[in-house]
Amino acid sequence: AQSVTQLDSQVPVFEEAPVELRCNYSSSVSVYLFWYVQYPNQGLQLLLKYLSGSTLVKGINGFEAEFNKSQTSFHLRKPSVHISDTAEYFCAVRTGYSSASKIIFGSGTRLSIRP
Amino acid sequence: DTGVSQDPRHKITKRGQNVTFRCDPISEHNRLYWYRQTLGQGPEFLTYFQNEAQLEKSRLLSDRFSAERPKGSFSTLEIQRTEQGDSAMYLCASSLKGTSSKLDHNEQFFGPGTRLTVL
């Protein structure tokens, strides 16, 4: 069975500083990995996804993530954060290639940006 | 706005009452999903439709919960005899089935959710 662990429930950083949000997964089959962002009172928005190919995936808003199969990780990074990046970030694994496959979410990391 | 919409955005009810939520997916999307998100947790899958057929249900979906998608467009999620433990954000998502198995990897688009509070 698949599962997702987000090691940090909250990450405070100063504006313009770099940030890394950690995510580890467990799966006995091929994995398809995602990062979603949830702004206050809004639904989830896809930041980036890894289905296959290059292990470094670039997403929207300057975020990127690296798939590391040996460490079963998919950490999210941004070199310089902005106040507008304040949100909750969810790492997720999809149980299959098809969009109909179930998505299993981590418990989320709240990113707070200090001016 | 052509995204996924949900109604109502907020619902406060008393324990024991029935509630119904509605989700309107993106118009050409044939797949529709319901998730539940409790405070401090990520969303958990509840159920999924392809067109009007309900193809999968989670064990989280007790017999007090029922979901329908009668015409393959909008969907409703009803909770009967609500309990305080039902308080959560209920999220709907939709996606478009790919034309082949190789192309069937489209993302799920999420609505803003309905926040349910059971007193």
Query: How confident is the model at residue B33, as a pLDDT?
Result: 94
Distances (CA, A) of B11 to B17, B22, B77, B88: 12, 12, 13, 10
Token pair in block for residue A63: 């975020």
Does A107 score more than 60 pLDDT?
A: yes
Rounded-to-integer distance, Cα A23 and Cα A34, Å: 10
Query: How confident is the model at residue B100, as a pLDDT?
Result: 64
Query: How confident is the model at residue B97, as a pLDDT?
Result: 77
Query: How confident is the model at residue A82, as a pLDDT?
Result: 95
Does A59 score more than 80 pLDDT?
A: yes
Q: Which residues of B touch A87 (CB under 8 A)?
A: none
Does B79 score more than 70 pLDDT?
A: yes
Does A50 score more than 80 pLDDT?
A: yes
Distances (CA, A) of A67 to A34, A49, A108, B85: 10, 10, 18, 36
3-state secondary structure of A37: strand
Instruction: Report the share of chain A in percent with pLDDT over 90.
Output: 70
Distance from CA of A40 to the nearest CA of B (A): 10
Rounded-to-integer distance, Cα A6 and Cα A25, Å: 9
The residue with greater pLDDT, B105 or B13, is B13
Residue from A9, A44, A105, A107 to probe the interface with B (highest B Cβ count within 10 Å): A44
Average of per-residue pLDDT across A88-107: 86
Average of per-residue pLDDT across A38-60: 90
Structural element, H or E, at residue B31? strand B31-37
Instruction: Check B42 against A99: CB less than 8 A apart.
Output: no
Average pLDDT value over all residues in chain A: 91
Q: pLDDT-based confidence at B60, cuts 50/70/90?
A: confident
Interface residues from chain A to B (CB-CB < 8 Å) = 4, 9, 32, 34, 36, 41-46, 49, 51, 90, 92, 97-100, 102-108
Q: Which residues of B touch A31 (CB under 8 A)?
A: none
Query: How confident is the model at residue B99, as a pLDDT?
Result: 67
Q: Which residues of B touch A105 (CB under 8 A)?
A: 42-44
Instruction: Check B40 against A107: CB less than 8 A apart.
Output: yes
Q: Are A33 and A25 in contact (CB under 8 A)?
A: yes
Could you report the per-residue pLDDT of A72-92, keeping only the tens digit for each? 999 999 999 999 999 999 999
Q: Are B82 and B18 in contact (CB under 8 A)?
A: yes
Query: How confident is the model at residue B28, as a pLDDT?
Result: 87
Q: Is B30 left (phi over 0), alpha (psi -120 to 50) or beta?
A: alpha
Instruction: Check B31 against A99: CB less than 8 A apart.
Output: yes
Could you report the per-residue pLDDT of A3-21, keeping only the tens digit for each? 899 989 999 999 999 999 9
